[in-house]
């Protein structure tokens, strides 16, 4: 599922397209309207960011509208052609996938800095009511 969202705009100063990305600084700001992972317990969501074989995760928060405010940096050596964002509900045993989306690096190269809400798809890539994830992305690189 490709990235979708509303209110896409640059963050801070307007940026020019970047030919080569050296690293990406990602601020996982918050999520809203997440689906319930379990029927009988509250959500304990966290965000996993994957690129290639590497992944990084936020700390576990609470509720269907969690605030993370965590910064994750991914170096160029760990970047593939896309960033995959997955929101999970932490559970004993196996964690439940609440929603996900993929952001092609080409889109990030063209747009530069992004401050945006991304719509989450379900595990099959189907758009629905899985919630949204607010991210600030700052690619660093050169032409």
Span 53-105, pLDDT tens digits: 889 999 999 999 999 999 999 887 777 789 999 999 998 888 999 999 999 98
**Residue 81 sits in a domain of what CATH number?**
2.60.40.150
- Residue 58 falls inside a structural domain: yes
- Residue 8 falls inside a structural domain: no
DSSP 14: -
- Residue 109 falls inside a structural domain: yes
- Residue 87 falls inside a structural domain: yes
Domain count for the chain: 1
- Residue 98 falls inside a structural domain: yes
- Answer whether 139's CB lies under 8 Å from 18's CB: yes
Span 19-37, pLDDT tens digits: 788 889 999 999 999 998 7
- Answer whether 31's CB lies under 8 Å from 87's CB: yes
Taking CA 119 as the corner, what is the angle to CA 23 and CA 36, rounded to the nearest 5 degrees?
Answer: 115
Segments of 13-89 assigned E as strands: 20-32, 45-51, 54-57, 67-75, 82-89
Report how far apart the first and last C-alpha atoms of the chain are (Å, whole number).
28
- Residue 6 falls inside a structural domain: no
- Residue 53 falls inside a structural domain: yes
- Residue 34 falls inside a structural domain: yes
Domain housing 99: 20-142
* pLDDT the model gives residue 16: 64
Span 57-66, pLDDT tens digits: 999 999 999 9
The contacts of residue 132 (CB under 8 Å, 6+ apart) are: 5, 31, 32, 33, 117, 118, 119, 120
């Amino acid at each position: 599922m490709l990235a979708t969202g509303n209110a896409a705009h640059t963050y801070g100063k307007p940026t020019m397209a970047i030919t080569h990305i050296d690293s990406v600084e990602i601020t996982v700001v918050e999520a809203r309207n997440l689906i319930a992972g379990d029927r009988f317990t509250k959500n304990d969501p966290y965000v996993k960011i994957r690129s290639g074989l590497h992944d990084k995760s936020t700390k576990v928060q609470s509720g269907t509208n969690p605030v993370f405010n965590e910064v994750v940096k991914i170096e160029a050596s760990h970047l593939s052609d896309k960033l995959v964002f997955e929101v999970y509900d932490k559970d004993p045993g196996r964690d439940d996938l609440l929603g996900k989306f993929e952001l092609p690096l080409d889109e990030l190269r063209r747009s530069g800095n992004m401050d945006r809400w991304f719509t989450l798809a379900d595990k099959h890539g189907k758009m629905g009511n899985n919630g949204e994830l607010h991210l600030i992305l700052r690619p660093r690189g050169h032409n």
